[in-house]
A and B are shown apart, each in its own frame.
Chain A
């Protein structure tokens, strides 16, 4: 007795529907006879039998849809039927995990989010043991450490900058500045309608990443003006003035949660509006994202501080020793303004200069502010 099974007729054939029997029980069949027709997704296909014999039973009726290998009929006759291929169970190969470099002695593996949280909570990594992949210290490990330390409120430390240490440094510098530097102060209120119109025009066709802020235009005007008044661009050391080796403007940046940094934009007077904007943006992002290391702060030759559009109208800056000048930018406000004898509302900003009287006199300082004003009126040339 041999079984006649539903044949596999194709690589992706899983089942077939028997649409016609061409033999009946009792019929004699020979190898190669077409005994049935099977419907598949590809169409109807004639099915041959490979054994000689006599049909004894038709197991699957016409219309029956059965998977490949199912017995369709039984034959009486010599057994020559090849057994169906047993499915081969292939061993699952272990996933080829790239071998992680062994943790460097003393420097444990730590995942990025764990490192971030540890940094924010001032957790000492040496004391932790990792439970993550390759024994890395994970978020959970740090969270556990944080909760256990929560009682003793360790100060929040920004990676790279210790707020407490920064506070002390600012205090020391401001105290020295007030003690040593004879400041004189000048201010100039400037109509910035031309400047703002230029910025608005530039930004209209630019996608956000390439847009310019008014501060960048002010910075450009200041850099060009400072280049013309070298005695405001340098340092007062051992009783005499040392000129800067270029116009490197420190852009004062307030840090979130307190603290101040003034990373230098080197050769600001030779940079285009776009370059200035890009470096301002980069410095701010890195400073606030704790990406700046104190070692990176090259020494500015003059500092500019801007209160931004949410600050006060006017700032009276304190010079950052050993520099000899500092420019302040207030908030842009709308004020009545005399234009050709008539009064009309105009956006204005108050620029101030604090300068070290040992290195320069008020007259020179005044010329700087007037020059900045002149440049801003011809904003299209900047």
Chain B
């Protein structure tokens, strides 16, 4: 019996808040990077919020997640605190990885968040392994693996899909198809651009869904996940979405036009849900101000927490290079 997504007021309000948290957090990161508070590479999630919120809404705490370097959205949707995340972006030891990972390498043991992987396609085999582990150990859990359209070009996509299908592993492959792999448009990189169709080659069920509509994503994700739990077989969910900002913090976007960006901004997942809720009277102006106010406070608190953070002592540089035991 597939649980029907109950579209009541509280749940929709929760979806909007979750997406807004991501949007405002990313805006603050964009600002802080330019004043050199955040360094290295940073890939912002603006425009794709519906994918991480929609999918992760359908997961359980015991499920695992493997993400990519564009992972602030997944991290926040999964429940990693803004304080720990912002401190990590500052490189402070109060960060979720003691400031060693940075924007591209967020890990969180408590929520089985198996990190951002900065090697395109690098996470897929890990997700297969996580699902294999759960299956063998008899845990009733699935692994959601997020990756972009660029990863579909990599050999690891083929190898992982085959292994997951062959060994009937509970993996939800979520392709965030935002039409560009850095500067490479999808149709210039893939002979077959309908990514969901590729799953058939591995006898894996798949679906393509509007990645700009959080409710559509959640419904599709819930259906896929229920099927995975029932049949213990992988599923490929292609979310057609779009990133409003540059690929990363140093990209003059020579490969796409401003006009194209504007047409996609019109389908902003946050704005879509908000205006739908307002039109249907499920959301009043004072409520949205309240939500925005709470989020702004949360973001400012995270910045203060990161500013007040401390540097990990240089003497600890070599700690955890190797481990003396397996953390339980």
- Identify the A interface with B (CB < 8 A): 5, 7-13, 32, 40, 42-45, 48, 50, 68-69, 81-85, 88, 90-91, 93
Contact A45 B35 (CB under 8 A): no
Contact with A along B34-54 (1 / 0, CB 8 A): 111101110000000000000
Closest to A6 in B: B34
Interface residues on B, range: 20 to 34
Residue contact A68 to B249, C-beta cutoff 8 Å: no
Given known pairs A40-B252, A43-B254, A44-B252, the reply for A7 and B35 (CB within 8 Å) is yes
Q: Using A8-B36, A68-B36, A82-B35 as known contacts, say yes or no to A88 and B311 having CB atoms under 8 A apart.
A: yes
Find out whether the CB atom of B35 lies under 8 angstroms from the CB atom of A84: yes
**Interface residues, chain B, with chain A CB atoms under 8 Å away:** 27, 30-37, 39-41, 246, 248-254, 303, 311, 314, 317
Tell me which residues across on chain B come within 8 A of A13, comparing CB atoms.
Answer: 250
Give the shortest distance, in Å, between B26 (CB) and chain A (any CB). Answer: 12
Q: Is the CB of B37 within 8 A of A90?
A: no
Bound together, the chains give a CA A345 to CA B250 distance in angstroms of 84
Q: Contact partner of A82 among B32, B246, B250, B254, CB < 8 A? A: B32
B245: shortest Cβ distance to chain A, in Å? 10
B residues less than 8 Å from A88 (CB atoms): 311
Q: Which of A8, A42, A43, A48 has the most CB of B within 10 A?
A: A8
Chain B residues with CB under 8 A of A93? 314, 317
The answer to whether A50 and B31 have CB atoms under 8 Å apart is: yes
| Contact yes or no, A11 B250, CB < 8 A | yes
Q: A5, A40, A43, A82: which contacts B37 (Cβ < 8 A)?
A: A82
Q: Which residues of A contact B35 (CB under 8 A)?
A: 5, 7-8, 81-85
Task: Give 7 nearest A-B pairs by CB, closest first.
Answer: A10-B250, A43-B252, A7-B34, A85-B36, A50-B31, A42-B252, A85-B37
Q: Would B31 and A9 count as touching, CB distance under 8 A?
A: no
Residues of B within 8 A of A7 (CB): 33-35
- Residue of B with least CB distance to A82: B35
Given contacts A11-B41, A88-B311, A90-B314, contact A69 B252 (CB under 8 A): no
Whether A42 pairs with B250 at a CB distance below 8 angstroms is yes
B31 lies within 8 A of A45 (CB): no
Closest residue of chain A to B246, judged by CB? A45
Shortest C-beta distance, B261 to chain A (Å), equals 11
CB of A295 to closest CB in B, whole Å: 47
CA distance A10 to B40 in the complex (A): 8
Identify A9's interface contact among B39, B250, B311, CB under 8 A.
Answer: B250
A11 touches B37 (CB 8 A): no
Q: How far is the CB of A77 from chain B (nearest CB, A)?
A: 16
Q: Which residues of A contact B41 (CB under 8 A)?
A: 11
Asked if B252 and A45 make an inter-chain contact with CB atoms under 8 angstroms apart, the answer reads: yes
* Listed A/B pairs (30) with beta-carbon separation below 8 Å: A5-B35, A8-B33, A9-B34, A10-B249, A11-B39, A11-B40, A11-B41, A12-B250, A13-B250, A40-B252, A42-B250, A42-B251, A42-B252, A43-B252, A43-B253, A43-B254, A44-B252, A50-B31, A68-B36, A82-B31, A82-B32, A82-B35, A83-B35, A84-B35, A84-B36, A85-B37, A88-B311, A91-B314, A93-B314, A93-B317
Q: Which residues in A have their C-beta under 8 angstroms from that of B36?
A: 8, 68-69, 84-85
Q: How far is the CA of A50 from the CA of B39 in the complex (A)?
A: 18
Q: 6 additional contacts, CB 8 Å, given A8-B33, A93-B314? A: A7-B35, A45-B246, A81-B35, A82-B31, A82-B37, A82-B303
Closest Cβ neighbor of A12 among chain B residues: B250
- Residues of B within 8 Å of A81, CB to CB, are 35
Kindly state the separation between the CA atoms of A12 and B250 in the bound complex, as whole angstroms: 9
Q: In the bound complex, do residue B249 and residue A11 qualify as a contact, i.e. CB atoms below 8 Å apart?
A: yes
Min Cβ gap B215→A in Å is 27
Q: Which residues of B contact A5 (CB under 8 A)?
A: 35
A-side contacts of B311, CB under 8 Å: 88
CB of A205 to closest CB in B, whole Å: 46
